[in-house]
Amino acid sequence: MLEQTPREQRQQLIDSDHADLSLRRQCELLKVNRSTLYYKAAEIDADDIDLLNEIREIWERYPFYGYRRITKELKFKGHKINRKRVQRLMQLGGIQAIYPGPNTSRRNKLHAVHPYLLRDLEVVRPNQAWMIDITYLRMRGGFMYLVALIDVHSRYIVSWSLSNTMETRFCIDALKKGLVYAQPEMINSDQGCQFTSEDWVDYLNEWGIDISMTGKGRCLDNVYIERFWRSFKREKFYLNEYNTVKDLRCAIEEYIEFYNQRRWHQSLNYETPAEVYFKWEREACGYVDASFGPASALRDVWTSHGQRITPALTTA
């Protein structure tokens, strides 16, 4: 019980003017090192304060920098400093690099694993293959989890869902949103327990969707959705603070609208994902309504005579 009491509280119980117990005996009873009674924390040097402010400025620009990279940055600016001092000051200022946290790809070893079907496959059309993955988003009160489905051919984000748990249900909810508008021939995922679960596998089998899974430790097999996470976090999430889930949800919706509709992709010959994804509809119908919003996965498709037809992106 005594060991569980913080040392600072035990030190406060020591009475230097006690009539019966010496300081030595009190320290023994309270299990406090007697030398700590005489210790006085050194005052922070003015140079350390200036350096800490500069460290914080670097960290605010590059929140993914740890003490080693910040040390390199300071040396580049002309400071003669070692990494131990930078590490001490970062701890003093409560500064910590943003780095991967909870593992969102834990496999249930009782579940079957499916083969990787995208190897040597040339993806040449929308909805030939989708990728799905989960990422975590750190907030003040804990973590939120974001799942998204991306079309491999166009890099278009077909649908997404946000949850405070990593249950399979929220992955199926995201898939249902996408299947309202289009059906892929296959979906590739990692070996996370959500995607090896019976609920997920049975749902894909009901729709006749082929199941593909990345190899263990082969994150590049799911490279397009991983690149989207990197873009979203660096271009949106890390640059802002979200106090509520509603704020976060609005930010995700806003960024995906930008990513799909406005963000030029070098790998797509500087077209947007939406332009590539809906190119088939433009060629077939002559026109695609430009009033597309993030709440839907497809825009309304109209014929050249202005008559509305039912969107159908599924390809044979």
CATH at 188: 3.30.420.10
Say whether pLDDT at 119 is over 70: yes
Centroid of chain to Cα 305: 44
Residue given tokens 């994902």 in the structure block: 273
In a domain, 201, yes or no: yes
Question: For residue 225, what are the domain limits?
Answer: 130-258
Residues 44-57 pLDDT 10s: 667 778 888 899 88
Same domain membership, residue 163 and residue 205: yes
Say whether pLDDT at 254 is over 70: yes
* Stronger pLDDT, 36 or 157, i.e. the higher one: 157
Q: What sign does the dihedral 68-144-263-191 (CA atoms) show?
A: positive
Q: How deeply is 114 buried, as exposed, middle or buried, from its count of CB atoms within 10 A (0-12, 13-18, 19+)? A: middle
Same domain membership, residue 203 and residue 226: yes
In a domain, 270, yes or no: no
How many domains would you assign to the chain? Answer: 3
Residue from 198, 200, 211, 210 nearest 176 by CA: 200
* Stronger pLDDT, 104 or 233, i.e. the higher one: 233
pTM of the predicted model as reported, rounded to 2 decimal places? 0.58
Mean pLDDT of all residues in 240-253: 92
Q: What's the confidence (pLDDT) of residue 266?
A: 83
Same domain membership, residue 238 and residue 141: yes
Per DSSP (E only), the strands in the chain are: 130-139, 142-151, 157-163, 186-189, 210-213, 287-288, 301-302, 308-309
The Cα–Cα gap between 235 and 238 comes to: 7
Same domain membership, residue 238 and residue 193: yes
Q: Are 64 and 30 in contact (CB under 8 A)?
A: no
